């Protein structure tokens, strides 16, 4: 698996210019299969063609997560392209433009500039700190010799290479691991070990039914108002432990969790990890200067109906 080149939640422009060019043809291959052949005219007044391939590649990224012993896939894909320019008489021009690499569902911040050579650090962890409950093993991803590699660490580890594992103290509450796709587009885990509350929201509709018998008699044992399409979704209200060191790093990771479109929670009642969406959309970032204690409360909701309705 090659090193990550681009995060396709941000634009990635392929551009090429040759004298006398009138249009270009882009052949885009994803995971070894030619997926797109796109023709585009040059930018008016120039001989340059520019095409954003990020959304095209993103269609084929599908991150999945189960418990650490199960399926675990950040969904990265390989890509390659060839951009050939043609003149107005449909004659191909040289040289062509080509490249290849690996893409994830990561992103670049606007203030960082263009989405090129996106991931230069070895450890794909913001601030090189992971927040784990005591006595829990875990994982993270890093670039090793231009290869995306999953690293696992034991339940007693407090560091792995240059990554610090911050051990959150045990409490009377059951800790919940939240796994999310971070800004690098790889899976990362953060534990919430303080107060937890589970709730359930039920939805449904009803109609007034015709409940009398053929003779017009009323049968009192039958529903006059009939409920249908009833279902439920569970919510988790989680609180982080109190953070005393490096609050800026913790805040940065909370930001990435809020921005993530793929999240899972380890539900011990169900004995599995379940996909969730984040209900919380606003937070006020806390600092050691303004706040004596730093912790966050976030609300998550299962990303599926409790009663299976998939068809």
249 and 287 housed in the same domain: yes
184 and 246 housed in the same domain: yes
Residue 193: which domain range? 126-198+232-302
- Is 217 inside any structural domain? no
Please give the angle made by the CA atoms of 293, 297 and 300, to the nearest 5 degrees: 160
- Is 37 inside any structural domain? yes
- pLDDT score, position 174: 81
Show which of 112, 147, 180 is a domain's final residue: 112
Tens digit of each residue's pLDDT (9 = 90 or more) over 23-38:
999 999 999 999 999 9
293 and 148 housed in the same domain: yes
d(CA 136, CA 265): 15
Mean pLDDT of the residues in the chain: 88
- pLDDT score, position 68: 58
Is residue 165 very low, low, confident or very high in pLDDT (cuts 50, 70, 90)? very high
Q: List the CATH number of the domain containing 21.
A: 2.60.40
- pLDDT score, position 1: 37
- Is 39 inside any structural domain? yes
Whole-structure pTM value = 0.88
268 and 173 housed in the same domain: yes
245 and 153 housed in the same domain: yes
289 and 150 housed in the same domain: yes
140 and 100 housed in the same domain: no
- pLDDT score, position 6: 86
Mean pLDDT over 271-289 rounds to 88
The two tokens of residue 77 are 């894909």
- Is 94 inside any structural domain? yes
Show which of 79, 112, 145 is a domain's final residue: 112
Contacts of 102 (CB under 8 A, 6+ apart): 1, 2, 3, 4, 5, 76, 77, 78, 79, 148
Tens digit of each residue's pLDDT (9 = 90 or more) over 111-149:
887 766 556 568 899 889 999 999 999 999 987 776 778
150 and 97 housed in the same domain: no
- Is 294 inside any structural domain? yes
- Is 223 inside any structural domain? no
- pLDDT score, position 13: 93
Nearest residue to 115 (alpha-carbon basis) of 59, 43, 55, 177: 55
Is residue 70 very low, low, confident or very high in pLDDT (cuts 50, 70, 90)? low
96 and 15 housed in the same domain: yes
Is residue 209 very low, low, confident or very high in pLDDT (cuts 50, 70, 90)? confident
Residue appearing with tokens 């390989």: 78
137 and 91 housed in the same domain: no
Give the least confident one: 93-107, 111-125, 192-206, 218-232.
111-125
Show which of 80, 112, 144 is a domain's final residue: 112
- pLDDT score, position 28: 98
Check if the beta carbon of residue 140 is closer than 8 Å to that of residue 125: yes
- pLDDT score, position 2: 42
- pLDDT score, position 233: 92
- pLDDT score, position 205: 93
- Is 309 inside any structural domain? no
- Is 119 inside any structural domain? no
CA 154, 160, 166, 169: dihedral to nearest 10 degrees?
A: 20
30 and 83 housed in the same domain: yes
- pLDDT score, position 146: 64
Number of domains observed in the structure of the chain: 2
Tens digit of each residue's pLDDT (9 = 90 or more) over 32-58:
999 999 999 999 999 999 999 999 999
93 and 188 housed in the same domain: no
């Amino acid at each position: 698996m090659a090193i990550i080149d681009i995060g396709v939640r941000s634009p990635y422009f392929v551009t090429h210019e040759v004298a006398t060019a009138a249009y270009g043809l882009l052949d885009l291959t994803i995971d070894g299969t030619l997926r797109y052949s796109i023709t585009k005219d040059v930018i008016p007044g120039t001989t340059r063609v520019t095409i954003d391939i990020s959304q095209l590649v993103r269609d084929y990224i599908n991150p999945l997560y189960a418990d650490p012993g199960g399926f675990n896939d950040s969904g990265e894909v390989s890509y390659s392209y060839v951009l050939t320019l043609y003149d107005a008489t449909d004659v191909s021009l040289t040289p062509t433009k080509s490249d290849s690499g690996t893409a994830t569902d990561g992103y670049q911040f606007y203030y960082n500039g263009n989405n090129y050579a996106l991931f230069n650090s070895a450890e794909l962890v913001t601030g090189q700190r992971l927040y784990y409950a005591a006595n829990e093993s875990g994982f993270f991803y890093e670039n090793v010799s231009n290869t995306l590699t999953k690293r696992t660490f034991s339940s007693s580890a407090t560091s792995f290479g240059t990554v610090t594992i911050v051990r959150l103290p045990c409490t009377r509450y059951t800790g919940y691991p939240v796994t999310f796709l971070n800004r690098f587009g790889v899976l990362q885990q953060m534990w919430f070990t303080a107060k937890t509350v589970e709730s359930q929201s039920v939805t449904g509709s009803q109609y007034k039914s015709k409940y009398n018998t053929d003779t017009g008699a009323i049968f009192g044992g039958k529903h006059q108002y009939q409920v249908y399409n009833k279902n439920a979704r569970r919510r988790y209200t989680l609180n982080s432990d109190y953070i005393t060191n490096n609050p800026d790093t913790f805040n940065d990771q909370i930001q990435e969790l809020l921005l993530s479109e793929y999240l899972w929670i380890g539900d011990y009642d169900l004995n599995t990890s379940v996909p969730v969406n984040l209900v919380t959309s606003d937070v006020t970032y806390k600092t050691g200067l303004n706040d004596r204690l730093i912790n966050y409360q976030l609300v998550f909701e299962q990303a599926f109906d409790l009663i299976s309705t998939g068809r």
